[in-house]
A = this chain, B = another copy of it.
Amino acid sequence: MPDTANPAPMNAPSRRKFRREGEERRRQDLIEATLDSVAEHGLQGATLRTIALRAGVTAGLIRHYFPGKEELLQEAYTTLVGRMTEQAKAALVMEDASPRQRLAAFITANLNAPIIDARVFSLWATFIGRANADPALAHAHREGYLGFRNEVEAVVADVLAAERRKADASQLRHHAIAINAIIDGLWIEGCLAGEMFSPGELAAIGIRAVEAELGLAPPKHDPEP
């Protein structure tokens, strides 16, 4: 392979060809390339040149869309968090289903692809590892966590109401914290060592653990006639 990919016949100092993409598209591509780079090489390996290469542009262009690397990373993280919470909550918008079914579906959705995903986990861990030093990161996490937990708490309240059981705010909060922990813990293991579990196993474990936490009677099997 020649040392230049330029097919120009003469060694005229020809420039690289390029296309002008829409602004929003370019920004989106750059953010995606950033997330890819961070997931693959970590924060240290995500250099402007690496990111630009992945996005199919040259490094200088990044400065045209972002004031600096810091801001690019910040926007990339915001995008990631938004995507994660959006996906996680999407499983809750089932109409015409019993609260208990909605809860089970929520757990199942959170413990299978695409939420169980090694790349997303890498990104989450890489960024959250900086939360101590970066208050903005810590704040973003807390927002996402509390939003998630509130969703859980609402479903739990529905489930208990449907079972005609009363629970005060403190009990509700504890249930939500525990259920959140169960989902988070199983999510981590699924992402880190997915092949150690058979398909659907994590979701089954999660549902059982959550229902035990709420003191729900185990569901009946189809009774023998």
Binding site for B on A (CB under 8 A): 39-44, 118-119, 121-126, 128-133, 138, 141-142, 145, 174, 177-178, 180-186, 188-189, 192-193, 197, 202, 204-206, 208-209, 212-213, 215
Contact B184 A188 (CB under 8 A): yes
| Contact A132 to B209, CB < 8 A, known contacts A177-B186, A182-B182, A185-B184 | no
List the number of copies, as a whole number: 2
Contact B118 A122 (CB under 8 A): no
**In the complex, which residues of chain B have a beta carbon less than 8 angstroms from the beta carbon of A131?**
122, 192
| Contact A128 to B42, CB < 8 A, known contacts A174-B208, A180-B185 | no
| Contact A193 to B145, CB < 8 A, known contacts A122-B130, A181-B182 | yes
| Contact A180 to B184, CB < 8 A, known contacts A44-B43, A133-B42, A208-B174 | no
Question: From residue A22, how far is it (CB to closest CB) to chain B in Å?
Answer: 32
**In the complex, which residues of chain B have a beta carbon less than 8 angstroms from the beta carbon of A39?**
132
**In the complex, which residues of chain B have a beta carbon less than 8 angstroms from the beta carbon of A132?**
39, 118-119, 121-122
**In the complex, which residues of chain B have a beta carbon less than 8 angstroms from the beta carbon of A182?**
178, 181-182, 185, 209
